[in-house]
Amino acid sequence: MTFEILSSLKSHIIRWPRHLLMVGGICLLVACGGGGGGSGSSTTSSLVEPAPAIVNQSVGTIYPADPVFLKPTFNTGTAVITWSNLAGSVTGEIPVSASGVLIQDNPSSTRKYTLTVTYQDPTKAYQSFLQKSSDVLTVTVTDLPTAPVYLDKSTNTLTQTTGRSDHASVTLPDGRVLVSGGTDGTTVLKTSEVFDPSTEKWTTVAPMTSARRGHTMTVLSNNKVLVTGGFDGKAALAAAEVYDPSSNIWTATLKPMALTRRFHTATELPDGNVLIAGGVVGPLITDDPRTTEVYMLSGSNAGGFDKHVYSAGSTGLALREARQGHTATLVSGDRVLFLGNSSNNSGEAKLLDYDSTTPGNSTWTTINLSASSAYTNCKRYNHTATVLNVAKTEIFIIGGGTCPKTTALLTLAAKSGTPSASTTTGHTWDEMGAMTVNRSYHTAQLLQDGNVLVMGGYDSQVSLNSIDKFTLNSTTQSWEPTRDTKLMNVARAMHTSSMLKNGSGSIVILGTYFQSSGVISNVVDIWRP
């Protein structure tokens, strides 16, 4: 009988030692590869009383309320996990089975976990004689220093009408935050809400014409909002629509996209048009995922989409490779930086030099990564890319993919040659400080003071309610993280965060990942500087 403890991923919640402590020759399941608790058999006829296994794991730091997972393993009988403080006062208990199912706990202080198994041992003279065996594990929680309260706890005033996951949100030109679509865990939504920072209250506005999740939402230069693609619960969508905040009306675009898309990107170009790229595209296997589309804000095709099909060579607006889970970021001049790909983890870093006069003459440049371990060893997807400077030449890449704890700084070289031509060399990748946890499906925001805030995310086992704040170390010229001392009220992944435009520097954070429990919280957090 063993008592296994896991974290979401262990190595980032807790500073785990390289080896597991063993007491009395008994070890954890993960260290020994088996039951470790005596000589018991899975068959009742040969069952003998297992020897007690006492495991005391002392760790440097578990941040308060970070998730800890307990995985009990035993051969037979019934069991209960109890936990207590060091004084021995029992504060909770959970009945468990021998299936080894993960049990989550979020301790705010040091806890002593005891797994007690009660069973019948047929080797004893009396079949009804109950035997007991216990494993004990102590987990130490180190409180962090007191800090100002960053997150608003007045959830009664900040609660959305509907809890959402896989939705979209944008900050409107008037400073309000618009949220649309997503899922409530049961239904794909078409509803929309607006958050007013002056009152910190939500108001229901007109619903979209189509229910959708995994869509994009882009604020246009005419102050309207473009929504593209997504999934309505039955099929991916080619439909797109535009919201007018002044009239509270949604209108379908003049014509839809040529391909259905979800989990794609939408990037506003310098001329005001919007480049739609990547994602899961088309209903047919023959649909080319490299095909892009441009929403035309003006011209003869205004209000509709122009399709751009891939052709051999390095010119045109179509992608040079299929991409999902990528980022498409407008950087210096008229360039768009594409990073990442979740379909095969091979997403090269490419620059699109957009030609607004003749889009078909746009060119692609592959960024030379041969001398960089910061990117070549970490294939990114479901990451974030944050532009750091006014010149838009420094891009901070955070988490995701095969190296979800790592960060890197990409510094773009200036263009060379013709105005529409980037250089293939001179770009630099630098490894920055690692986060305290693994993160994918997180969000990141550039703060007014120039620092970068990273919120929530998924660590491959559970959503996170923690926050990392990156600050530039002027001595080492490295962006280094510190764990924010306050946690979000709700663990979040596939959420959204929006910077308010009221001068406060505050960020609205909403939405939670749709987990097996089916519970999607409508609680909203505000991070305040």
Give per-residue pLDDT as tens, 330-365.
998 789 999 988 776 566 789 999 998 888 899 998
**pLDDT at residue 48, rounded to an integer:** 47
Higher pLDDT, 447 or 311: 447
Which residues are CB-contacts of 158 (< 8 A; sequence separation ≥ 6)?
152, 200, 202, 523, 524, 525, 526
Give the residue, 159 or 178, on which the prediction is more confident.
178
Which of 308-317, 424-433, 502-511 is predicted with the least confidence, judged by mean pLDDT? Answer: 424-433
Pairwise pLDDT comparison (256 vs 97), residue with the higher score = 256
- What is the per-residue pLDDT for 378? 72
Query: What is residue 367's predicted lDDT score, i.e. its pLDDT?
Result: 83
| pLDDT band at residue 1 using 50, 70 and 90 as cut-offs | low
- pLDDT computed for residue 31 by the predictor: 26
Specify the DSSP class assigned to residue 155: H
- What pLDDT is stored for residue 65 in this prediction? 56
Q: What's the Rg (C-alpha) of the chain?
A: 26
- Tens digits of residue pLDDT in 75-108: 667 778 887 776 667 777 778 766 666 676 767 7
Confidence of residue 41 (pLDDT cuts 50, 70, 90): very low
Name the 3-class secondary structure at 376: helix
The pLDDT assigned to 328 comes to 96
User: Residue 18: its pLDDT value, please?
Assistant: 26
pLDDT at 240: 97
The pLDDT assigned to 226 comes to 98
CA angle, residues 248, 226, 341, in degrees to nearest 5? 145
Instruction: Tell me what the mean pLDDT of segment 168-194 comes to.
Output: 93
Q: What is the pTM of this model?
A: 0.74
C-alpha pair distances (Å), 344 with each of 324, 347, 351, 379: 9, 8, 20, 9
Top mean pLDDT of 74-78, 122-126, 309-313 is at 309-313
